[in-house]
Amino acid sequence: MVLSTELAQMKERLPEWLEASRALTAEGKTAAYIPELAKAPKEALGIHILNMNGESVSAGDCGLVFTMQSISKVFTLLLALMDNGEEVVFAKVGKEPTGDDFNSMLKLELVEPGIPFNPLINAGAIVISSLIHGATPEQKSERILRFFCELSGNETLGYNLDVCRSESATAHRNRSLAYFLKDNGVLDDDVEEVLDVYFHHCSVEVTCADLARMGLVLACGGKDPVTQKQLVPRRYVQIAKTFMMTCGMYNASGEFAIAAGLPAKSGVAGGIMTMVPGRLGIGVVGPALNSKGNSVAGVHLIETLSREFDWSMF
Amino acid sequence: MVLSTELAQMKERLPEWLEASRALTAEGKTAAYIPELAKAPKEALGIHILNMNGESVSAGDCGLVFTMQSISKVFTLLLALMDNGEEVVFAKVGKEPTGDDFNSMLKLELVEPGIPFNPLINAGAIVISSLIHGATPEQKSERILRFFCELSGNETLGYNLDVCRSESATAHRNRSLAYFLKDNGVLDDDVEEVLDVYFHHCSVEVTCADLARMGLVLACGGKDPVTQKQLVPRRYVQIAKTFMMTCGMYNASGEFAIAAGLPAKSGVAGGIMTMVPGRLGIGVVGPALNSKGNSVAGVHLIETLSREFDWSMF
Amino acid sequence: MVLSTELAQMKERLPEWLEASRALTAEGKTAAYIPELAKAPKEALGIHILNMNGESVSAGDCGLVFTMQSISKVFTLLLALMDNGEEVVFAKVGKEPTGDDFNSMLKLELVEPGIPFNPLINAGAIVISSLIHGATPEQKSERILRFFCELSGNETLGYNLDVCRSESATAHRNRSLAYFLKDNGVLDDDVEEVLDVYFHHCSVEVTCADLARMGLVLACGGKDPVTQKQLVPRRYVQIAKTFMMTCGMYNASGEFAIAAGLPAKSGVAGGIMTMVPGRLGIGVVGPALNSKGNSVAGVHLIETLSREFDWSMF
Amino acid sequence: MVLSTELAQMKERLPEWLEASRALTAEGKTAAYIPELAKAPKEALGIHILNMNGESVSAGDCGLVFTMQSISKVFTLLLALMDNGEEVVFAKVGKEPTGDDFNSMLKLELVEPGIPFNPLINAGAIVISSLIHGATPEQKSERILRFFCELSGNETLGYNLDVCRSESATAHRNRSLAYFLKDNGVLDDDVEEVLDVYFHHCSVEVTCADLARMGLVLACGGKDPVTQKQLVPRRYVQIAKTFMMTCGMYNASGEFAIAAGLPAKSGVAGGIMTMVPGRLGIGVVGPALNSKGNSVAGVHLIETLSREFDWSMF
């Protein structure tokens, strides 16, 4: 198969750029607060890029399997929107970047009406988990997993239950957030049941190829370019991509928007999902994180590609 | 029995001052956040004053039985100090007033090292509960209750389990605080077990006479003036009284110190325990609270007495 | 002259959409904190749209003259970048949205290293004013004004000195911000001299047509589509547009990004400058502001247009 | 003259305790933010204790001359109360400890109605300066200085103008506070004029003997024990002493209250004024400060004395 020109150019240069970025892993640290995540290979860096014709290039440790963590929040947001519509969702979660840490509680206490500022910080994602339809936590989790499978075109996605349990056992801050939300009247359900759903979708295991495929669906406005099936209403994808631009990279979202200019979402297992609108889906993994919680090498690699290929949307 | 001059004067004027203060109950509200407390008689106001000779005067609804709520925090602090000593206790709880609401989480997030600012705000009192010795929550609660009985000279003190359950069922904010503390490494025990102890000591039922007796023990440096038994080391009583002066009346402690000039501690069931050092123990109850969470009429009555009898320590 | 299809469609529907949006002015208020601004016509609403061929449509009160206020911050940022380069500028101003009010000082005190979070909040814009080259405040202001003239293609732009003086006389909060920045070591110059520059560029008077032309230059990556002259390096324009997306509409930037999906900047005189990348420059004015400080009718009108013509970048 | 027993005991032990405390100066630092203060002798420590009979003992560097700094705030509060009465003063300044740094602006932004929490933090003291009667800043300063002379019984008190100018030149944070207060409507006067008064009273030079005399007047309820003249109404002295207990030692007021149990006020030049109610006035100086801004050796020395002589009010 002959690669398109862009992918062919990428294929040639990718190994070099990847190694240059990999050097930065020495400055980062794997996530310490979830013990299972701390075990990840610190020097790893992998990337997978997929275009609308199904062509792909990859480099580095692209075979690494890792948990989605916060990347899953983009997709639970989509499912919550499909389940409830915009009005219900945005009565419980705001639309603004916060400038605070992803697990901060300051604005819940300080800013009326005490709802999370956006669905990509922890507080917001916990509320989103509570909005997923399903009679039990198991049914909710099952619906979320099937949705992830559909978007990734990978029916074999499943949980890393060691990570799920490790996170549940140590997630005191998330419990604190959830009880605060319950006190503010934003969370109706039982806290442990909501968190069970939340920890499960955070612990779904993927590879860079899975993220690239999921990103490509977003890049194509919710339509799977391979099957031509509209998996998510375009308006909801637009909303998700906007949030990825304004708050997808934790407290470094603004910086990343200026450097790369692409919608993206990172997770503390080192994954980053990004896309070039209308053209490419991209999955990256590099478990060494910078001080903001983003893959230090992954951010550098995406910024390099965006600069080299002039991908910024701005 | 002939009352001392001071008590005789008080007895004469007390009904008049009490009724003047009772008028303020119209401006207050019973605590809404614990459903059982909301049922308290809003217009009630009672007071009991006890001197070192065991003489007492009382007025108004002094027979009302109510739960200690935050007043209990003074005594769990004393027991925690007796169980652990100053060094252990103050490694986990600070000594400063906060200027924030009693259930605020701001400083836990903003100020290193993330320990509660003092033992009389909720976060601090929860940590104190965790420091009480005992193999199980039941044993801890039992030790606390016996300590309260000893200090009040009333062996019949017990819990209001309806209030205890009502508080436990709705205490999302306290759970949020406790999990935050656990995340900060300040709380070692299981959160629900610590809160079980906390809710139990908050729900111990007393009358104004009980509070007056407990306050008198503090006024006398830890020695029961009737039995001459030293129930608490004087240094720990000194610490407790200092905290009562700087942070005993929630976020209105400074104002009360200026108006009344006495160590005092209030609870959201409307109780206030205060004292005139070396002379009197005072228990007050008035369930209608002001916006700061203190008995609106109770505060007014104590301030009146302090002014009339020149009780301010300053 | 025959309008392009898009503009022709717009021209037909614009009056209807404008009147529908104008109805919202009843809910808004003119800026109260600068006395001169409070005098603006509350029910006014005007718009001017310009394409790359120099064709334009306009509607409503598009002849209204008003001061740029915060809209000017986009262009002083560009000039500061041209004068100093990225490294110098971003050593003194961050790249993140704040989630706080535009004149908030919280993060200056709470977040190390105490530099403004971005150049579009007041604190950031004041620092940017200090970075403009020029031996005196007058020279700096003169260079800024000439730059604005060049970008708008309008050599007659000038200050509204009544507004400038009115703002200077009442800008206690901006003085407070500036002295805080000076204490943090972020501002080297004399505070009053910096603020003199700041108040002057905020008080430059424009019409919607001027804003549309300035926005069109940004939409075209810094090149004036009429003269084909590259007025600003494309990279700096990219930076400015990214900031407009993440923090251009004060504390409602996230909401506007989701609703309209366009880079935009508002000012408290009621102006909004926005653009459709690569195609259109748009200037809007409507002095009645919503609670976030944005033109209530102007926001509605742009959101309507974006929805009708599918302009969102996402 | 034969010293009273207490003073005689003190005299004997004081040199030893002073040298033990002096050892702590190695851990402290002189105030860096006012250049003139940084020059003070870091290892100095002096104390002067005065009783109601006019007897005194002193030790160490008690001849050191230093500026009052924040200690002056106690006395401007008294003068403002005498000039305006309680109602006017407490409409503009609160009565609560803050738990924040002495120059913090957080609560001015976060807590309605945006007045300083108490008169001993910088924001509060600046408002108090504005309430002193006088047609001009010079007249206000003159009235303040005369009041200080009267209370200290020392007609020769004057300003250290080098310190005053040094502070004025670098007081960006105080200017920031003052403009914030002006924006909040708490400060009516011209900011520079108010600060001129503030910097002047902060720079009044004293010795430990002066502070001891001023403290003794407070210890005696406002009456000069030597002349028997009532210099300040007793109620105002009561208010001032209460503030000294709850917020006199910056953000370590609670800790000092527990350790020493005495009303006290510190200044960043290293002075501390404290008292034993009804008995002693005490002046201490030790320019090496701890991290909270209090004289590290001075605090230790007072705590030692309080423990040895059982001075705690609690």
In chain C, how long is the greatest CA-to-CA distance?
Answer: 58
Taking the C-alpha atoms of residue C160 and residue B96, their distance in angstroms, rounded to an integer, is 51
pLDDT in tens, B57-79: 999 999 999 999 999 999 999 99
Partner B contacted by A180 (CB < 8 A)? yes
Q: How far apart are CA D140 and CA D146, in angstroms?
A: 10
| B143 & B211 share domain | no
Q: Which residues of chain A have pLDDT under 70?
A: 1-2
Q: What is the pLDDT of residue C2?
A: 65
Tokens describing residue A163: 């990570």
Picking from B56, B198, B58, B64, the residue whose alpha carbon sits closest to that of residue B127 is B198
Q: Examine residue A314 and state whether it is found in any structural domain, yes or no.
A: no
Kindly state whether residue D313 falls inside one of the protein's structural domains. Answer: no
- Chains linked to C by 3 or more Cβ pairs within 8 Å: A, D
Q: Are residues C197 and C76 in the same domain?
A: yes
Same domain, D221 and D281: yes
Whether a cis peptide bond, with omega within 30° of 0, leads into B116 is no
Give the pLDDT mean for B185-191. Answer: 96
List the 244-283 stretch of C: residues with Cβ below 8 A of A: 245-247, 251-255, 257-258, 261, 263, 277
What is the share, in percent, of chain C residues with pLDDT greater than 90?
A: 95
Q: What is the pLDDT of residue B204?
A: 98
What angle (nearest 5°) sits at the alpha carbon of residue A149, between those of residues A143 and A154?
A: 160
Query: What local confidence, expressed as pLDDT, does residue C292 receive?
Result: 95
Q: Does residue B231 share a domain with residue B178?
A: no
Per-residue DSSP letter, B32 = S
Q: What is the mean pLDDT of chain B?
A: 96
- CB-closest option in D110, D176, D191 to C180: D176
Mean pLDDT of C148-164: 97
Specify whether A143 is located in the same domain as A76: yes
Do B48 and B207 form a contact (C-beta atoms < 8 A)? yes
Element (H, E) at B298: helix B296-309
Beta bridge partners of D285: D46, D271
A70 catalytically annotated: yes
Structure-block tokens of residue A51: 């275009």
| Secondary structure string (H, E, C) spanning C247-285 | HCCHHHHHHHHHHCCCCEEECCCCEEEEEECCCEEEEEE
Q: C73-126, pLDDT tens digit by residue?
A: 999 999 999 999 999 999 999 999 999 999 999 999 999 999 999 999 999 999
Task: Give the model's pLDDT for residue A5.
Answer: 87
Please tell me the distance from the alpha carbon of residue B88 to that of residue B81, in angstroms, as a whole number: 8
Half-sphere exposure in the Cβ direction for B159 (13 Å, CA): 21
- Same domain as D267, residue D184: no
- Torsion-angle region of C167 (φ positive above 0: left; ψ -120 to 50: alpha; else: beta): alpha
Q: Please list the residues that pair with B56 across neighbouring strands.
A: B50
Q: Is B176's Cβ below 8 Å from some Cβ in A?
A: yes
What Rg, from alpha-carbon coordinates, does chain D have? 18
Q: How confident is the model at residue C278 (pLDDT cuts 50, 70, 90)?
A: very high
Q: Which of C74, C92, C250, C285 is catalytic?
A: C250
In this structure, the dihedral spanned by the alpha carbons of residues C162, C164, C166 and C172, taken in order and rounded to 10 degrees, is -170
Return the CATH number at B283: 3.40.710.10
Position A32 scores a pLDDT of 84
Cα B10 to the center of its chain, rounded Å: 24
How long, in residues, is chain C?
314
Strand pairing partners for B205? B67
C-alpha closest to that of A145 among A95, A108, A199: A199
Judge: C105–D104 Cβ closer than 8 Å, yes or no: no
**Nearest beta carbon to residue B313 from set D97, D251, D313:** D313
How high is the pLDDT of residue A141? 98
- Is C179 annotated as catalytic? no
On whether any CB of chain B is under 8 Å from the CB of D291, the answer is no
Q: Give the H or E element holding residue D274.
A: strand D271-276
The answer to whether residues B190 and B290 belong to one domain is: no
Cβ separation A245–C241 shorter than 8 A: no
For residue A313, tell me if it sits in a domain.
no
pLDDT averaged per 10 residues, chain D (length 314): 82 97 97 87 97 96 97 98 98 96 94 96 98 98 98 97 95 97 96 98 98 98 94 98 97 97 98 97 98 97 97 98
DSSP B66: E
Give the integer Cα–Cα distance in Å for D209 and A161. 72
For D177, counting Cβ atoms within 10 Å of its Cβ (0-12 exposed, 13-18 middle, 19+ buried), the class is buried
Distances in whole angstroms, Cα of residue D8 to Cα of each of D11, D51, D135: 5, 12, 48
Dump pLDDT digits (tens) for B250-309: 999 999 999 999 999 999 999 999 999 999 999 999 999 999 999 999 999 999 999 999
Check residue C5 and give its pLDDT. 87
Same domain, B100 and B197: yes
Assess if residue C112 is contained within a domain: yes
Strands (E), chain C: 46-51, 56-60, 66-67, 205-206, 264-266, 271-276, 280-285
CA distances from D2 to B31, D15, D225, D226 (A): 61, 19, 19, 18
User: What SS3 class is residue A285?
Assistant: strand
For the beta carbon of residue A101, count every other beta carbon within 10 angstroms. 15
The long-range contacts involving C79-88, CB below 8 angstroms and separated by at least 24 positions, are C79/C132, C79/C143, C79/C144, C79/C147, C80/C119, C80/C128, C80/C131, C80/C132, C81/C233, C81/C236, C81/C239, C82/C232, C82/C233, C82/C236, C83/C131, C83/C132, C83/C133, C84/C131, C84/C133, C86/C239, C88/C131
Q: Which two three-digit tokens encode residue B286?
A: 């008035």
Cα–Cα distance, A104 to A6 (Å, whole number) = 41
Which among A202, A221, A255 is the end of a domain?
A202
The percentage of chain B sitting over the pLDDT mark of 70, rounded to a whole number, equals: 99
User: Residue A134 region, left (φ>0) first, then alpha (ψ -120 to 50), else beta?
Assistant: left
For an interface test with C, which of A96, A218, A262 has the most C Cβ atoms less than 10 Å from its Cβ? A96
Radius of gyration of chain A measured on its C-alpha atoms = 18
CA distance B166 to chain D (A): 31
Average pLDDT over residues C238-263: 98
State how far the alpha carbon of D297 is from the alpha carbons of D26, D59, D202, D263, in Å: 9, 13, 21, 18
Q: What is the pLDDT of residue D303?
A: 98
Q: How far apart are CA B302 and CA A203, in angstroms?
A: 58
Q: Which of B202, B237, B259 is the last residue of a domain?
A: B202
CB C101 within 8 A of CB C303: no
The confidence score (pLDDT) of residue B2 equals 65
C94 neighbourhood in chain A, CB within 8 Å: 254-255
Which residue among the candidates A72, A168, A250, A299 is catalytic per the annotation?
A: A250
Evaluate if pTM is beyond 0.80: yes
| Statement to judge: residues C212 and C195 lie in one domain | no
Q: What are the strands of the beta sheet with C271-276, ordered from one edge? A: C56-60, C46-51, C280-285, C271-276, C264-266
Enumerate helices (H) and strands (E) in chain C, giving the number of each: 13, 7
3-class state of residue A46 by DSSP: strand
Cβ within 8 Å, pair A254-C239? no
Question: A213 with A190, same domain?
Answer: no
Q: Determine the residue of chain A that is closest to B104 in CA distance.
A: A109
CB A129 within 8 Å of CB A137: no
Q: Are residues B75 and B62 in the same domain?
A: no
User: Last residue of a domain, which of C202, C217, C246?
Assistant: C202
Buried b (16+ CB within 10 A) or exposed e, B206-226: bbbbbbbbbbbbbbbbbbbbe
Vertex D287: Cα angle to D285 and D290 (nearest 5): 110
Nearest to D173 among C175, C183, C191 (CB): C183
Which tokens hold the place of B261?
Answer: 């000039």
Question: Which is it for the CA torsion B200, B201, B202, B204, positive or negative?
Answer: positive
Q: How far is B218 from B221, CA to CA, in rounded Å?
A: 5
Tally of structural domains, chain C: 2
- pLDDT tens readout for residues B205-219: 999 999 999 999 999
Same domain? D132 vs D168: yes
Per-residue pLDDT, C208: 98
**pLDDT tens string B229-260:** 999 999 999 999 999 999 999 999 999 999 99
User: Is C43 within any annotated ligand binding site?
Assistant: no
Q: Measuring CA to CA, which residue among D183, D86, D73 is closest to residue D126?
A: D73
Quote the tokens at residue A24.
Answer: 């930065």
The type of residue at A13 is R
D314 in any annotated domain:
no
Stretch (H or E) spanning A213: helix A208-219
Assess B114–D contact: CB distance below 8 Å, yes or no. Answer: no
Decide if D96 and B245 are in contact by the 8 Å CB cutoff: no
**Sequence-ordered alpha helix ranges (H) in chain D:** 5-22, 35-38, 72-92, 106-110, 122-131, 137-152, 161-170, 172-183, 191-202, 208-219, 234-247, 253-259, 296-309
In whole angstroms, give the CA distance from residue D309 to residue D7: 11
Structural domain including A254 reads 5-67+206-308
With beta carbons less than 8 A apart as the criterion, state whether C295 and C22 touch: no
